[in-house]
Structure 1
Amino acid sequence: MANFPANVTIREVGLRDGLQSIATILPTEQKLEWLRRAHAAGVREIEVGSFVPAKLLPQLADTAELLACAKTLPGLFASVLVPNLRGAKRAIDGAADLMIVPLSASHAHSLANLRKTPDDVVAEVARIRAARDAAGSRTLIEGGVGTAFGCTLQGKVERAEVLRLMQASLDAGADRVSLADTVGFADPRAVRELFEQAVRIAGDRFWCGHFHDTRGMALANVYAALEAGVNRFDASLAGIGGCPHAPGASGNASTEDLAYMLDSMGAGTGIDLPALLELRSDIARWLDGEALHGALWKAGLPRTFEQTRVANAA
């Protein structure tokens, strides 16, 4: 454990990646409660939504309102997903702390998801950087390279192509880069090998790992990424999420399960797990009928958890 980060950040993505792929359109007031209570439970990075046309994703039509609320919460780092320059301008206008530009290493998925080739998206990153700088904005740009371990549409994605697109995003002006296992194809060995190479290339500009639990591998893959020196991960309460344009891309890593694993190992997250589980319970009620995931909510925290957490902290 000596080589693992002492502290790990969990970026809650349920309000975007989670809600975008389910049928339920959650009322804005419940989303705002989710946002405020996650913050109160110690979550300090939250992806609040996406600036896409409401006709395409009505689940995320109120992103501007959620971003405005997030900006009032002390110490909260608020991010949004932006698929193009138009969305980026809205993120800049809303003073988002960070905007994520999704870039798929799978050409087939890129065309299905964004109607652009991966290199078209790299060119869009350059335009977004120019607009950000011209506006004098401090909003950071993250190039999020998805389908990094394969794709249900294309099949195999070459590691060299993933790393090429990651470097191209940085060269185009991204401040940060991240890698995502969009369809849950990854395994711990592949994660460790790819993430070690990615960290060597990007250094401290490597920002985040994003793992889907489609085949039950998300937490094992997080562990492998920790071994590679990564200390920030996306996760969604109740494990909801997926990509509408990637068949079989079900389920993010569960925030509550991930926080429990990290705290149990002595990697501090700053998250109040009982408070998070209470919020998860309410989200389950709000999303009645939707498929939810995770194990901690069923088993509960072990009686030894607090003793172990205190011992690890010492």
Structure 2
Amino acid sequence: MDAKSYPSATEGEDRRVRIREVGPRDGFQNEPETIPTSDKVRLINALGRAGVERIEVASFVRPDVIPQLSDGVEVLHRIELPPTVARMVLVPNRKGLENALRERAYFDEAALFVSASQTHNKRNVNRTVEETMADVRGMGPRIVAEGVRLCAVIATSFGCPFEGEVPMGRVLDLAEQFAEAGAVEIGFGDTTGMCNPAYAGRFFATAIERLPGVEITAHFHNTRGQGLANAYAALEAGCRSFESSFGELGGCPVPKGSTGNIATEDLVSMFHEMGIDTGLDLGGLIDAAREAQETLGRRLTSHSIVAGPVIWSPGERAGA
């Protein structure tokens, strides 16, 4: 597939946002029981039918590190999505990049990642931040040269469970290094749900100003129940690109107890009620989340799974 061209987060209609679904990677990897490949394919296809146009599908990590994602190549080969859907893969290191590029025909975007916290980065990938970024400087241009859209992810952007506060300046310095390596989109992750709406607003206003021409993406977790409020604050600050996970799947394996991403269907429900266009079919997303709940055999924490979509037209209640 050829790399797709996108407008920056601030171009086009102000009342339109873009959402990447990360459940098939970020969500599935935290499930304790192995999900059959056929079920993963079925659920991803359901997301495609709901109009999702950006999906994080797989990760090229070592199978012994995250066994749940060891079938990533097979999933990439078997999913049936419209050609308009951008398929993203996560690349952890140079070896992962070599493996990914052998499957170049099956994805459009590749994400490189680092933790803004030294302790989290060491526990997550057993490397210092400096070692990770040295690899980024080599891998980034290689990815761009292959015609793949390069994205970046900075975990623990809003706080670290081991170190506490993470300075905004440190996070944005890393973002600038990613941009210099060729990243056209940078996602800021609230990995263990430590952000609050006031800080989210200040952070995204500053990031958008400091990184002109780069798509700025918000990735919030709902660990402490502030995920949607943080998304709203980011929206008010000018952010128009978000990541979320159907069914509120996901979390962070380091440390234990970090619950999932904000639910895609809850995020879309909020935006639609505000008159913000997502291009997604809310009913289809809820159906996909309920299907995931049935497949996993446990109750998921998305509110929309229980409540369903709002049945009245928002009308005058809409407005950001």
Q: TM-score, normalised by structure 1?
A: 0.91
In the alignment, does 2:131 pair up with 1:120? Answer: yes
Residues 223 and 129 (structure 1 numbering): CA distance in 2 closer, same or farther, change over 3 Å? Answer: same
Amino acid paired to 1:102: F
Amino acid paired to 2:268: A
In the alignment, does 2:255 pair up with 1:246? Answer: yes
User: Is the 2:119–2:162 Cα contact (8 Å) retained in structure 1?
Assistant: yes
Aligned to 1:203, what secondary structure does the other structure show? coil
- Point out the more displaced range, 212-221 or 85-94: 85-94
User: Is the 1:209–1:234 Cα contact (8 Å) retained in structure 2?
Assistant: yes
Which among 210, 214, 221 is matched to residue 201 of structure 1? 210
Tell me the number of residue pairs that the alignment of Structure 1 and Structure 2 aligns.
306
Aligned to 2:120, what secondary structure does the other structure show? helix
- Point out the more displaced range, 150-159 or 242-251: 242-251
Instruction: Give identity over the alignment, percent.
Output: 34
Aligned to 2:306: 298
* Pairwise CA distance, 1:36: 1.0
User: Is the 2:21–2:244 Cα contact (8 Å) retained in structure 1?
Assistant: yes
Deviations 1:137-168 (A, max 9, x none): 11122121110111111112111111111112
Aligned to 1:178: 187
Amino acid paired to 2:302: G
Amino acid paired to 1:10: I
Over aligned residues, Cα RMSD in angstroms? 2.1
User: Is the 2:91–2:111 Cα contact (8 Å) retained in structure 1?
Assistant: yes
- Whole-Å separation in 2 of the counterparts to 1:292 and 1:311: 29
Deviations 1:221-247 (A, max 9, x none): 000111121111111111010111233
Aligned to 1:97: 108
In the alignment, does 2:119 pair up with 1:108? Answer: yes
Residues 138 and 68 (structure 1 numbering): CA distance in 2 closer, same or farther, change over 3 Å? Answer: farther
Aligned to 2:314: 308
Aligned to 1:27: 36
Q: Which runs of 5+ in 2 are unaligned?
A: 1-11
- Whole-Å separation in 2 of the counterparts to 1:310 and 1:245: 43
Q: TM-score, normalised by structure 2?
A: 0.90
Aligned to 1:18: 27
Deviations 1:53-98 (A, max 9, x none): 1111111111112223457532000101111112123333323211
Which among 225, 237, 243 is matched to residue 216 of structure 1? 225
Aligned to 2:291: 282
User: Is the 1:183–1:212 Cα contact (8 Å) retained in structure 2?
Assistant: yes
Q: Which runs of 5+ in 1 are unaligned?
A: none
User: Is the 1:149–1:156 Cα contact (8 Å) retained in structure 2?
Assistant: yes
